[in-house]
Amino acid sequence: MAAKRKLGLPAQMGIGMVLGVIAGLAAPYINFDAQWFKPFGQLFINLVRMVVVPLVFTTLVAGAASVSDISRLGRVAVKTLLFFCICTMLGTAFGLLMGDLFHPGMGLTIPSENLASKDITPPTLGQVLMNIVPINPFDSMAKGNMLQIIFFAVLTGFSLSLCGERAIAVTTFFNGFAEVMIRMTTIVMLYAPVGVFALIAFTVASQGLGVLLPLVKLVGIMYLGCILLVLILYFPCLKYSGIGPKKFLKGFSEPLMTAFSTCSSAAALSSSLVSVEKMGASRSVSSFAIPLGNTINMDGTAIYMGVVTIFAAEIFGIPMPFDKQLSVVFMALLASVGTIGVPGSGMIMITMIFTQVGIPLEAVAIVAGVDRLLDMARTTVNVMGDAVAAIFVSKLENDIDPNRGAAMEE
């Protein structure tokens, strides 16, 4: 008798997603209250968020401690940040181009009376910079303030490497702790298929398909834009790094499905970190690029900002000449840095851009109906963009090794 083959986790998550769609569609017909799905999905989000802070902190300390040369640390940081900026700006420009070409808002007349949305004030550059240095690193960890945790972890790792032999026990401790957190992430992900099922079922049941119909073109253009950006920008970068698209999609499917179903980059952070390393990215690069990118690099949100700005401008008949579109590219860079990896935060940050180019903020309320669907796409691209950066910078540093995965499985 042939031995039964066990389904891998990504396949189980895929099945969870399909069953989630079916359950979500069926729920209203059998009078099943969709609220029942909610706690099962939330449990998944809580589990993955539980491991994030210790995982990021320990892997980053261990990664930075293994770099004995400060100029390499600086080089990695500069290359990663440059890559983030370029991709985010390209993402917005691409979103605008998609909007210009396909006119998502043309012919759409949605009454905007009784719609309201809140304006937000972006933080100043000074505030952003001051926010990076924690006054109390334990408080930053308790609050999950990723930028402050990254800052403190890099400094700790670097100090450890300067101490050398004298602090070898502490370095070994962090190396071991990082391994433990990686293992814990793998354990937590075993619950992912159930979590994905519940999240998708809840979304489909509570949003319904009716909300989609008037805005179907916008959703279609957004998804097309995301797919094209992946094909035009990400895949060539991966190819250059020696990782083919197939290998990447297979090796990175867990974080992608987590991002798609939770709409939270933060929820996908731990499995991203583990997956890119398994694909061969360097620990010292990925432990820096993935958590940092998770907080500041949002290419999917950038595409969204481009497409939705054109959509809103068309609905309200506001002209968008080239110079205005160029200002959107720069504003979106700031807005996506300010976007945090939780559901819907891009929709709040887009008010910065609307205010800048004179689009009534009521546009946000119009998009809100389909924002969850747009969020699924943009979060997936956000998470993918960080992984591509980690792999690409590892390649630039000549520190990519496809056999790392096998070593980690042992």
Q: Which residues contact ligand ASP by CB under 6 A?
A: 263-265, 298, 301, 339, 341-346, 375, 378-379, 382
Count H helices and E strands in the chain, helices first.
Answer: 20, 0
Alpha-carbon span 199 to 201, nearest angstrom: 6
The two tokens of residue 326 are: 């160029």
In the complex, minimum distance from the CB of residue 277 to ligand ASP, in angstroms, rounded to a whole number: 21
In the complex, minimum distance from the CB of residue 308 to ligand ASP, in angstroms, rounded to a whole number: 11
Is the Cβ of residue 59 or residue 345 nearer to ligand ASP in the bound state? 345
CB distance 19 to 183 below 8 Å: no
In the complex, minimum distance from the CB of residue 127 to ligand ASP, in angstroms, rounded to a whole number: 20
Residue-by-residue DSSP string for 234-258: IHHHHHHTT--HHHHHHHTHHHHHH
Q: Which position's Cβ is nearest ligand ASP?
A: 346
Is the Cβ of residue 283 or residue 378 nearer to ligand ASP in the bound state? 378
In the complex, minimum distance from the CB of residue 109 to ligand ASP, in angstroms, rounded to a whole number: 27
CA angle, 344 then 349 then 355, to 5°: 135
Alpha-carbon span 104 to 218, nearest angstrom: 5
- By C-alpha distance, which of 160, 140, 159 is closest to 150? 140
What torsion do the CA atoms of 167, 168, 171, 175 make, to the nearest 10 degrees?
A: -170
What does DSSP assign to residue 401? -
Burial 67-76 (b: 16+ CB within 10 A, else e): beeeeebeeb
Is the Cβ of residue 15 or residue 89 nearer to ligand ASP in the bound state? 89
Residue whose structure tokens are 């907080």: 295
Is the Cβ of residue 159 or residue 207 nearer to ligand ASP in the bound state? 207
Residue 190: strand, helix, or coil: helix
Is the Cβ of residue 378 or residue 395 nearer to ligand ASP in the bound state? 378
What does DSSP assign to residue 231? I
**Helix 299-315 / helix 216-229 crossing angle, nearest 10 deg:** 150
CB distance 378 to 303 below 8 Å: yes
In the complex, minimum distance from the CB of residue 186 to ligand ASP, in angstroms, rounded to a whole number: 22
Is the Cβ of residue 73 or residue 267 nearer to ligand ASP in the bound state? 267
CB distance 265 to 294 below 8 Å: yes
In the complex, minimum distance from the CB of residue 265 to ligand ASP, in angstroms, rounded to a whole number: 3
In the complex, minimum distance from the CB of residue 381 to ligand ASP, in angstroms, rounded to a whole number: 9
CB distance 242 to 181 below 8 Å: no
In the complex, minimum distance from the CB of residue 392 to ligand ASP, in angstroms, rounded to a whole number: 20
In the complex, minimum distance from the CB of residue 326 to ligand ASP, in angstroms, rounded to a whole number: 22
Is the Cβ of residue 320 or residue 384 nearer to ligand ASP in the bound state? 384
Alpha-carbon span 50 to 71, nearest angstrom: 33
